[in-house]
Amino acid sequence: MHDGFTEMLLGLILAALPVLVLHPGIISIFVVFYILFLPPFLEGIRRKYIYPRIGYVKLSEDEPPKVTARLVATLVLIIVFVAAVIYSVAIGIIDQDLVYRWIPAAFGLIMWVPSVYLEEKSGQNRYYLFGALMTITGVAVALAPIADSNFVGFLYFVCWGLFFLALGLVKYALFVRRFPVVDLPEDVQDEL
């Protein structure tokens, strides 16, 4: 959690999100790339740049991932909120343009799920801050006097994408300074 790759990946995804939404054909290519090629690519990056610095430990996979009540409650609340908005648009209570304007705020609420998960996984309360700030800025850009509702989402996602990309790069630079490359015995290097 200290190497910055999670933040860099999130930044790239957020910055690319407006392009993916505008060109639906690219979404299928992105999903295939994300599912099939990203995990081995990230593992290769970690083998080359991270494991020589801190080592490698494979955790036991006997225990399924822990799903907590807070995580489930957060996800259920978000699903109910999104379903209510979709229903309101479908029956004409809410204008579609208004929905586009409030997508950043809804996405900020959705980001509470990974925030809760990362806090529980790492024990670092700062991950709550990301969920809170993304929700607050989502509401702020929705209320901003910007005429084009599509630009609201573009502005939100690109700015947060650049922020997380920069945060990841800074974390990686600090990680490299904090953990110099460790010379491993040859038998250990062969296993990597």
Output the pLDDT for position 155: 87
Distance CA 17, CA 153 (A): 9
Give me the pLDDT at residue 185, please: 60
Q: Return the residue matching tokens 């980001």.
A: 111
The residue among 43 and 174 whose pLDDT is bigger is: 174
pLDDT tens-digit readout, 113-165:
888 888 887 788 888 898 899 999 999 988 888 778 778 888 899 999 999 99
Q: What is the DSSP string of 29-70?
A: HHHHIIIIIHHHHHHHHIIIIIHHHH---PPP-SSPPP--HH
Tokens of 154: 């573009």
Q: How far apart are CA 12 and CA 57, in angstroms?
A: 27
Please state, in angstroms and rounded to a whole number, the distance separating the CA atoms of residues 128 and 184.
37
Residue 117, token pair as written in the block? 């998960």
- pLDDT tens-digit profile of 63-107? 555 667 777 777 788 778 777 877 887 787 878 777 788 888 888
